[in-house]
């Protein structure tokens, strides 16, 4: 199945196209505020390199979060518009799952981290399995002290991956059974592998059914009723 994968849940946006799990083209841009300007040109670049037309795409995979609001909104809107235009099915994928799949460990419990900003991170435990990983608990948004307390309560060894660099140095003090590793960011290339598995298990959906996993309110909120009452929004 010819697939387009779009990842914008972190500062490292990426676009990949592939046939099944075989990568045919990829583009990456590390810029926490450059998602919108990157996506369309990256998709065109990947399609051109593969010699494909937009209508050749049969499946669109998109990272639905958790992650900061602006990046997720850009990626999901682009993915939905593309899928609707070419009649492709969609595969919604968690950013935490994408990171966990690429974590290099055979026995440690995996804790992927996504920087949610405002001093918080999204985390979720995964357990390693032969050939992959499986969720081992729910995703949640926590502050550094809460995450340290979670790791301290772990009975076994843990591997923290993802954007753990955003956490203060004090987070790691005294955590002797915790290692830190890679990858730092989710990748659209890994999403090709996950979406292929979802397609084989008939777990795809349509563009209108995609829902983001913000896990908290956006950084900027507007009280629209106040905005209108102050005369800055036209009536009608």
For the segment 83-135, what is each residue's pLDDT rounded down to a tens digit?
Answer: 999 999 999 999 999 999 999 788 899 999 999 998 999 999 999 998 889 99
Residue 36's pLDDT is 72
Q: Domain spans of the chain?
A: 2-94+186-219, 97-180
Residue 106's pLDDT is 81
Higher-confidence residue of 222 and 150: namely 150
Residue 104's pLDDT is 76
Please state the three-class secondary structure of the chain as a single string. Answer: CEEEEEECCCCEEEEEEEECCEEEEEEEEECCCCHHHHHHHHHHHHHHHHCCCHHHCCEEEEEEECCCHHHHHHHHHHHHHHHHHHCCEEEEEEHHHHHHHCCCCCCCEEEEEEEEECCEEEECCEEEECCEEEECCCCEEECHHHHHHHHHCCCCCEEEEECHHHCCHHHHCCCCCEEECCCCCCCHHHHHHHHHHHHHCCCCECHHHCCCCCCCCCCCCCCHHHHHHCCCCCCC
On the question of a common fold for 2-94+186-219 and 97-180, the answer reads yes
Residue 105's pLDDT is 81
Indicate the average pLDDT of the chain: 90
- Residue 21 CB neighbour total at 10 angstroms: 14
For the segment 7-45, what is each residue's pLDDT rounded down to a tens digit?
Answer: 999 999 999 999 999 999 999 998 766 667 799 999 999
Query: Quick check: 231 pLDDT over 50?
Result: no
Mean of the pLDDT values across residues 137-164? Answer: 97
| Angle (CA) 227 228 230, round 5° | 70
pTM of the full predicted structure? 0.89
Residue 218's pLDDT is 54
From residue 232, give the alpha-carbon distance in Å to each of 220, 223, 225, 226: 18, 12, 11, 9
Residue 34's pLDDT is 61
- For 97-180, CATH number out of 3.40.190.10, 3.40.50.620, 3.30.420.40, 3.40.50.300 equals 3.30.420.40
Domain 2-94+186-219: give its CATH code. Answer: 3.30.420.40
Query: Quick check: 221 pLDDT over 80?
Result: no
Residue 228's pLDDT is 39
């Amino acid at each position: 199945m010819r697939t387009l994968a779009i990842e914008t849940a972190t500062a490292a946006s990426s676009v990949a196209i592939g046939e099944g799990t075989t990568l045919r083209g990829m583009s990456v841009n590390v810029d926490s505020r450059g998602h919108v300007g990157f996506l369309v040109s990256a998709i065109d670049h990947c399609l051109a390199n593969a010699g494909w037309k937009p209508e050749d795409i049969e499946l669109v995979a998109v990272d639905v979060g958790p992650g900061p609001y602006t990046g997720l909104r850009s990626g999901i809107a682009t993915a939905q518009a593309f899928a609707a235009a070419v009649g492709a099915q969609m595969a919604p994928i968690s950013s935490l799952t994408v990171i966990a799949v690429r974590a290099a460990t055979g026995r440690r419990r995996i804790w992927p981290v996504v920087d949610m900003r405002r001093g918080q991170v999204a985390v979720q435990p995964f357990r390693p399995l032969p050939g992959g990983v499986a969720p081992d608990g729910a995703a949640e948004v926590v502050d550094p002290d809460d995450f340290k307390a979670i790791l301290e309560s772990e009975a076994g060894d843990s591997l923290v991956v993802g954007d753990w660099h955003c956490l203060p140095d004090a987070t790691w003090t005294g955590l002797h059974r915790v290692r830190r590793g890679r990858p730092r960011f989710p990748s659209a290339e890994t999403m090709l592998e996950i979406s292929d598995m979802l397609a084989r298990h008939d777990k795809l959906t349509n563009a209108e059914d995609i829902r983001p996993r913000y896990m908290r309110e956006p950084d900027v909120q507007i009280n629209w009723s106040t905005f209108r009452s102050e005369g800055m929004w036209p009536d009608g």
